[in-house]
Structure 1
Amino acid sequence: MIEYVKGELAELTPAVAVVDCNGVGYAVNISLNTYSAIQGKTSCKLYIYEAIREDAHVLYGFVSKQERELFLLLISVSGIGGNTARTILSALSPAELVNVISTENVTMLKTVKGIGLKTAQRVIVDLKDKIRTGATSVESGMTVPVGNSAVLEEAVAALTMLGFAAAPSQKVVMAILKDDPQAPVESVIKQAFKRL
């Protein structure tokens, strides 16, 4: 089992990083979150999940243990493989994903390419208890008080209907609600316009 690879960043694309470890180049599948974190660096350390199949040994790499932990939780859900889990982690940051699952925001999860209603519901049903019980050590830092999940969902839904992308909309709305937990939906949407 490979825990991590650390070395010179030989090549980098939004989907794959090639890490040179003492002359051996490891091609590692990465999420967009990891890509953003290591972009522009000459060396990196990626925490690894190794998927061993009959026809291939595939490495998935993550900039943090928390992201890898979420990846492992996602692939434990029936019907979600490594590439789908990576797509989810590319569309949502670990903090956003934890929030989406804990607030049972099916609508937000459905905005991820390739995730339908049934899969989104399955992810939430299978993982909400694991996330809540702290089986994952992800420090979200951006949780929304439970009473505000309705405001969050309504504001994000309104912004996506107005043509804004779902993930950035949720990020902005969560930040607004963190600053002003009592803000009504109209106020949140108006503030979000200025920030998006």
Structure 2
Amino acid sequence: MISRLFGTIISWEEDAITLRAGAVGYRVHLSPYSMSVLSGTDSESSELSLYTQFFWSEHQDSPTLVGFPTKEEQDLFLLLRKVQGLGPMTALRILSLPVEEMLSMISQGDVSRLKTLKGVGDKTAKKIISELKEEVQPISTPLIPAEPTGKNKTASLTDISSLVRETLVQQFGHTPIEASRLVAAALKKNPDIRTIEELFSEVYRIGSD
């Protein structure tokens, strides 16, 4: 059973990469979010670490290997797999936003936003919420007050920016310079950002442009 892979990316497809680990090249499917984040990095020249899940059944022509740059994304994928009717590739395609944002949507029962994700209709969105809402931790507490003072707002935004930059570097493979550029661009585009989730969401949108 393959549970972790360490290597360098040698080729890209629409929803997968080929990762060279030693003398072997593994074709690994990634979520739309991870594909977007990794495509903006110099990942071909640095080692990438992936958590992996392996699928193979009599109905498949070939085995399917899916990967996740973070344990949090893998855990969310496994949660989605608990929803009746969601196969591995469908669950993977749903992961098109940062984990924090996805968990917030589920915990808040936000059907309308879930329906905007690829492969999620009204029925599926309601099923995801009804079956998983109690299993996810609500992410709704902002990191700065609703009406912060100038000094507190600056300090809090500095903390938020540092945490997001660190995550982009350590978990998603960005260089420190690239992470700083993405965070700065996100804050410039949306100066009203107040939480880590909002900053990750804006960074993702910039990376997708």
- The one-letter code matched in structure 2 to 1:48 is T
Per the alignment, in what secondary structure is the counterpart of residue 18 of structure 2? strand
Contact 1:14 1:32 in 2 (8 A): no
Q: Which runs of 5+ in 2 are unaligned?
A: 147-185, 196-209
Find out whether 1:51 has 2:55 as its counterpart. Answer: yes
Contact 1:144 1:177 in 2 (8 A): no
The C-alpha deviation readout for 1:36-62, integer Å capped at 9, x for no partner, is 333331231111011121233110111
Identity of aligned residues (%): 33
Q: Which runs of 5+ in 1 are unaligned?
A: 134-139, 149-170, 180-196
Mapping 1:104-119, distance limit 5 Å: 104-119=109-124
Contact 2:94 2:119 in 1 (8 A): no
Query: Are the structure 2 counterparts of residues 176 and 121 from structure 1 closer, same or farther at C-alpha, using a change threshold of 3 Å?
Result: farther
Find out whether 1:178 has 2:182 as its counterpart. Answer: no
The C-alpha deviation readout for 1:101-145, integer Å capped at 9, x for no partner, is 011000000111221111100000111111038xxxxxx6xx356
Question: What is the TM-score with the length of structure 1 in the denominator?
Answer: 0.66
Q: CA deviation at 1:66?
A: 0.4
Q: Comparing both chains, which one has the higher relative contact order based on Cα–Cα distances under 8 Å and sequence gaps of 6 or more?
A: 2
- Name the Cα RMSD after superposition: 2.5
Question: What is the TM-score with the length of structure 2 in the denominator?
Answer: 0.62
Which of 60, 67, 73 does residue 73 from structure 2 map onto?
67
Q: 1:89 maps to what in 2?
A: 95
- Mapped to 1, the partners of 2:104 and 2:125 lie a distance apart of 14
Contact 1:75 1:85 in 2 (8 A): yes
Contact 1:14 1:30 in 2 (8 A): no
The ranges of structure 1 where at least 4 consecutive aligned residues each deviate by more than 2 angstroms after the TM superposition are 36-40, 174-179
Q: CA deviation at 1:10?
A: 1.0
